[in-house]
Chains A and B, each alone.
Chain A
């Protein structure tokens, strides 16, 4: 034992605590008990269910071959052919999908059956691997319901993905006898390979009456816009081959064609391109002399050169996706996966999920007639855009092509968006790849409006008990022409505000709001009393700003209503020694924040601060009684992507007697705390949203050699 443990020790930290002999039995017993317990639990799990709900769990253990068989009499009804005029408002029963708070449709899946004709010959393969994956995905999703009476959408378990492997008439009969078929109303059918020789229809040939069709390979003549859903043709290679995303940038070939058995006419067009442009165009075809056992689908050849497929797609900037007998091609999925920009040459093809995906960002569509111009068309695309298209192509594959699950959920989401349009997923959510979602901002106040001056602003003074100073601030601020209301936020719960008669008499309404708790965030609450867009947050000790300065601040805010417009500016810096952010209040040439001790901003940001502040920042600020202004600066910069505007020259801000008390030491702890705030907020936001600028706003004629009395804002900048 000793040496065993010694051995353990030499191997590194012991995994099992060293055992003394007398404890051994004890441990073994313990193990046994645990083991027995586990076995018992395990037994118990399988035990009771098989007894009490046989329909429930036993189902899972069945084989596909054990499903019930349904015999279809030869004269059982056949649905009408698809109705080309169907739209959601004519063929879809919305009453089945009532208003619900989650705005989610409910989808029911019929249980699996095996259909045979009168002679017992099966109608089709019971179910393919892909269709089973698709149904599994629906069943696992939020859309699923097992209650046929509550369902809004019905998905038959009859596998229609590939028209070539099914018998059309009998399959239609099978559809018609589904329990809730009702002319196909609210039924969703999935099909990827429609049509068959010789004319290859572009939509499933199985008569399906009013059913919605999620089809791969629609043409503009068969696609019922706003009713059907165009889906990709799934490529099983997606699951087999792992192609890591390749960074954007130039690739070995400019144009690559990898499809086999192209029509000779296309083939010769492509070859003409190759002769014209040489090695940057690569046209691959099927390999003729592969040794046995090498799957033909995984190789492509050019003359005697053999390439791995789909890996070779990553070697090219553009990859041609030509129509074959059908419009939808599985190669599109491979091409997207490789991050190669698809060049789609298939006139009248409805691209997958075109209802929501913006294919112009991920592909180039070229009319068949213009094939000879392909090279020059592609050359005219700027390199930066190509890189974005590569990224976009890969993102489309990851989000909507990579698995049957992705395809199924995107399809259901599209139908869901039609039924609950007011809760629909936006263009950006569908189309922006995560990197763009991350780096871009969508300003909530995006309309370029210069608010009318007449609206004025509401001044909010947060105060605790400095009544004398507060009254001075009120008197000063009330002189500003555009002030429309003054709101005092009384943050002291232990003391009542002064009586009404004691307050300064001013020309605008003055309201006092009492708060329930002494919190800094009370300053940024979107009080109903604020009726203007513009808010002036001002501390109860800021008495040095002149009326001209405040009025000018308001005018500047009107020109930049989506920004913080304030007086003293501050800066954040990266401290290379400490490897973290640092707060700077010195006289710098740059600003990235303004103090909210005196700042104009839009009331919207009060709303954001109170209800949408990320993480625990709001509570953190209230607990530390500091940095509410930095938090506001972060919030506004993050949501708008814009810098602050600092107004007028630097002024000594606090009253001289306040700062002089114990100078440096207080100042330094203050700085440390503020720096900590910046680091904390940057980590919560996951980024540093603050923008550094070198400018400040002054009146047009500031310090110009011009008579002061003719200037709109003469009294600015005097210290």
Chain B
């Protein structure tokens, strides 16, 4: 009986199993059968013998894919060199890496020829390079060479076309077939077909060109740059037009275009069709036939009416009031419109098939533009309508980030070009695509500092990490005494009392040697003395001894308590990309004198935190020393006291945010003027006006005023509240 029961039970189970294995699917289909019979998909068959099929390759063949009789790697390389040149250039074959090994990435510009003036744009490019930290005046040190001949406009009908470039180049002893040369170009070819011909043989030179066609583009070798206007600022540059993040994006128009309609010739296919999507409501697409001398010859029936409508709208108003902007090809693939739309936060809808987008090697354009297809123009309206408001907002913000990071000035365009080339030289020390496409942008991230996201102050949120839990106190000593003042001893005591302190570094910047170690206070905290070179910029040198993310920068005369330090550090951990500190200053626009003013008076605002007592990320030491051009550091070293302003300007330029002031016990005896003992008011005011001059010179270097003001101070939650001090975590701050 028992056996039978088991048997029945088993049969029952087995039949259920069978039903499940083979029938479930069928039953489901059966339920829907009547209506969907015709739709039953014919899928790829499940072959009965599919498990018997052979592998696509013998496993051993896959793992020993070599044939010693083949060319040796060296022979192959030699063979490549002879085959892959000119139009098939790659870095491996056309670039001499060995030139960059000894002196690093140094760029040389040919001296300009007297008889051949260069265009405004080209002289801006050259001066960008000459001001950059990569510039070298010595050809023998150089890794990359830039011609002095203006090659920007190679349309031979243009006034700026330089004749006989080939001949001139052949005369240069450094030319070397174009190896390690970088050639800039904005316009190539001319009516009617606008070919990409430059009118001279670039040989093995890298071409940085606007309107690059993917077919001519040598991937990983050439660089596509944006077309920029003559009056594009040298540095700084205008900010983008997005001032607020609206949701839903409440702009008047969805999609706009205003431009020429080509009646004939290259590019007319697309430009001629644009008017079709105009609906007069939220899609405005206006064209004019008026261009060129003989437009009336080709004029069609639309022209007159279109020309009238065209005048009714202002181009800049449309840019400002539209969510999307059509950026079609012109005669060439790129247009000024591209950067204009980008700046205006009008999301570019690209209709320029085959355009190698600017810096596409680094920039992920899919996050800021809609790459449309010229052939599918009529689908564009429905496609952009379907984009979710949240994505629109993200796109808009990304346009602004990209504009500001890579395009708003000639400096940025040129530096981006150089950095892309530099990254190719050592792929293992280069920026990942993420770094190029996240704030603050690739130019401000030095792969020589680190390639690990967590080492930078900017990416903790995206990376899911947090800054280190300890800080390094970094005390600068400049006093002439040569012995240790009471001040400094007290300071060391206070700092080493902090639970977050990892070590103390003393930068000894005096003529006299530092006192022997027994004179220093005996604390458990590791204390290291660094002998400075007695330059002001020393204090921001990236010393290897600084191992923590946070640096507490201190002047010897400052007085701080342990709880102030503790609280400030806790605050800094919430804002690791900013300077967080105690004494502050502010800047203002002095309309009367037409320059920037600097004030140390108590004000309701602040824009500078003195590095006499401030936390910041150690990466800023690297940026200060490696990123800023030498000229700027020399400027600071030449002035008495300006390095801290430069640091504040630098951090503000990177973050676009104000520094943070935290609660302090009592007002620090105001630092600057009084600190240098024995100096009278005159010296103080001289120093003060120097700082003001310095600020103005920095603004000139940066091309704009990066400092941002803040109206707040961060205090402990119960600061000066009427509660028992026993409840407070930082009671000593209130004494």
**In angstroms, how far is the closest chain B Cβ from the Cβ of A161?**
4
| Bound Cα distance A704, B718 (Å) | 16
Q: Is B735 interfacial (CB-CB < 8 Å)?
A: no
Cβ contacts A to B, 20 pairs, < 8 Å? A38-B18, A53-B40, A62-B47, A85-B215, A223-B219, A225-B214, A236-B59, A236-B62, A259-B63, A260-B64, A265-B73, A324-B64, A382-B450, A382-B452, A426-B366, A440-B461, A451-B244, A533-B246, A589-B730, A695-B717
Identity of the chain A residue whose Cβ is nearest the Cβ of B461 in the assembled complex: A641
* B439 lies within 8 A of A694 (CB): no
* Cβ–Cβ < 8 Å partners of B12 in chain A: 31, 34-35
Task: Return the CB mask of A135-173 against B: 1 if under 8 Å, else 0.
Answer: 110111000101000000000000101101100000000
Q: Is B524 interfacial (CB-CB < 8 Å)?
A: no
Surface stretch bound by A, among B113-121, B390-398, B679-687: B390-398
* Cβ–Cβ < 8 Å partners of A691 in chain B: 574
Task: Return the CB mask of B709-735 against A: 1 if under 8 Å, else 0.
Answer: 011111111111111000111100000
Q: Is A94 interfacial (CB-CB < 8 Å)?
A: yes
Surface stretch bound by A, among B166-174, B634-642, B651-659: B651-659
Q: Which of B367, B384, B717 contacts A646 (CB 8 A)?
A: B717
* Known contacts A193-B57, A711-B604; A589 and B717 CB within 8 A of each other: yes
Q: Which of B61, B97, B584, B716 contacts A369 (CB 8 A)?
A: B97
Q: How large is the interface on A (under 10, 10 to 19, 20 to 34, 35 or more residues)?
A: 35 or more
Q: Which of B11, B65, B710 contacts A325 (CB 8 A)?
A: B65
* A45 lies within 8 A of B73 (CB): no
* B717 lies within 8 A of A698 (CB): no
Task: Return the CB mask of A296-335 against B: 1 if under 8 Å, else 0.
Answer: 1100000000000000000000000000111001110000
**In angstroms, how far is the closest chain B Cβ from the Cβ of A615?**
19
**In angstroms, how far is the closest chain A Cβ from the Cβ of B351?**
11
**In angstroms, how far is the closest chain A Cβ from the Cβ of B140?**
22
* Cβ–Cβ < 8 Å partners of B19 in chain A: 38, 41-42
* A129 lies within 8 A of B55 (CB): yes
* Cβ–Cβ < 8 Å partners of A177 in chain B: none
**In angstroms, how far is the closest chain B Cβ from the Cβ of A317?**
14
Q: Is A266 interfacial (CB-CB < 8 Å)?
A: yes
Known: A265-B73, A439-B464, A695-B574. 5 other contacts (CB 8 A): A95-B375, A128-B53, A140-B43, A385-B452, A641-B461
* A448 lies within 8 A of B245 (CB): no
**In angstroms, how far is the closest chain A Cβ from the Cβ of B58?**
9
* A132 lies within 8 A of B53 (CB): yes
| Bound Cα distance A603, B246 (Å) | 8
* A703 lies within 8 A of B720 (CB): yes
* Cβ–Cβ < 8 Å partners of A589 in chain B: 716-718, 727-730
| Bound Cα distance A617, B245 (Å) | 26
| Bound Cα distance A192, B245 (Å) | 47
* B66 lies within 8 A of A260 (CB): yes
Q: Which of B27, B432, B658 contacts A360 (CB 8 A)?
A: B432
Q: Which of B243, B428, B712, B720 contacts A449 (CB 8 A)?
A: B243
* B379 lies within 8 A of A98 (CB): yes
Q: Is B41 interfacial (CB-CB < 8 Å)?
A: yes
| Bound Cα distance A364, B431 (Å) | 12
Q: Is B434 interfacial (CB-CB < 8 Å)?
A: yes
* Cβ–Cβ < 8 Å partners of A384 in chain B: 452, 454-455
Surface stretch bound by A, among B84-92, B192-200, B526-534: B84-92
| Bound Cα distance A135, B48 (Å) | 15
* Cβ–Cβ < 8 Å partners of B602 in chain A: 701, 704, 706
| Bound Cα distance A367, B429 (Å) | 13
* Cβ–Cβ < 8 Å partners of B219 in chain A: 220, 223, 225
**In angstroms, how far is the closest chain B Cβ from the Cβ of A167?**
16
* Cβ–Cβ < 8 Å partners of B571 in chain A: 694-695
| Bound Cα distance A364, B720 (Å) | 55
Q: Which of A348, A361, A448, A587 contacts B721 (CB 8 A)?
A: A587
Identity of the chain B residue whose Cβ is nearest the Cβ of A441 in the assembled complex: B461
* Known contacts A42-B19, A109-B44, A144-B43; A704 and B215 CB within 8 A of each other: no
Q: Which of A335-362 contact B (CB under 8 A)?
A: 347-348, 358, 360-361
* B464 lies within 8 A of A604 (CB): no
Q: Is B518 interfacial (CB-CB < 8 Å)?
A: no
* Known contacts A129-B54, A705-B667; A436 and B65 CB within 8 A of each other: no
* A265 lies within 8 A of B72 (CB): yes
* Known contacts A41-B27, A59-B42, A646-B717; A130 and B428 CB within 8 A of each other: no
**In angstroms, how far is the closest chain A Cβ from the Cβ of B354?**
5
- CB within 8 Å of A: which residues of B? 1-2, 5, 8-9, 11-12, 15-16, 18-19, 22-23, 26-27, 30, 37, 40-51, 53-57, 59-70, 72-74, 77, 80, 84, 88, 90, 92, 97, 214-215, 219-220, 242-248, 250, 353-354, 364, 366-367, 370-376, 379, 382-384, 386-387, 389-390, 393-394, 397, 400-401, 427-434, 437, 439, 450-452, 454-455, 461-464, 567, 570-571, 574, 584, 602-606, 655-658, 661-663, 667, 708, 710-723, 727-730
* Known contacts A144-B41, A144-B43, A719-B722; A447 and B245 CB within 8 A of each other: yes
* B428 lies within 8 A of A365 (CB): yes
* Known contacts A89-B353, A440-B461; A367 and B713 CB within 8 A of each other: no
* Cβ–Cβ < 8 Å partners of A533 in chain B: 244-246
Q: Is A118 interfacial (CB-CB < 8 Å)?
A: no
* A56 lies within 8 A of B714 (CB): no
* A448 lies within 8 A of B373 (CB): no
| Bound Cα distance A440, B459 (Å) | 10
* Cβ–Cβ < 8 Å partners of B364 in chain A: 427
* Cβ–Cβ < 8 Å partners of A438 in chain B: 464
* B66 lies within 8 A of A89 (CB): no
| Bound Cα distance A56, B57 (Å) | 32
**In angstroms, how far is the closest chain A Cβ from the Cβ of B74?**
7
| Bound Cα distance A125, B721 (Å) | 84
* B729 lies within 8 A of A161 (CB): no
| Bound Cα distance A399, B581 (Å) | 46
**In angstroms, how far is the closest chain B Cβ from the Cβ of A51?**
13
Identity of the chain B residue whose Cβ is nearest the Cβ of A295 in the assembled complex: B59
* Cβ–Cβ < 8 Å partners of B429 in chain A: 380
| Bound Cα distance A115, B354 (Å) | 38
* Cβ–Cβ < 8 Å partners of B717 in chain A: 569, 588-591, 646, 694-696
A85, A384, A422, A640 — which one has the most chain B CB atoms within 10 A of its CB?
A422
* B54 lies within 8 A of A694 (CB): no
The 6 closest A-B pairs by CB, nearest first: A439-B464, A139-B44, A89-B353, A324-B65, A128-B56, A261-B66
* B44 lies within 8 A of A221 (CB): no
**In angstroms, how far is the closest chain A Cβ from the Cβ of B148?**
31
**In angstroms, how far is the closest chain B Cβ from the Cβ of A532?**
8
* Cβ–Cβ < 8 Å partners of A95 in chain B: 375
* A650 lies within 8 A of B56 (CB): no
| Bound Cα distance A259, B65 (Å) | 9
| Bound Cα distance A53, B65 (Å) | 47
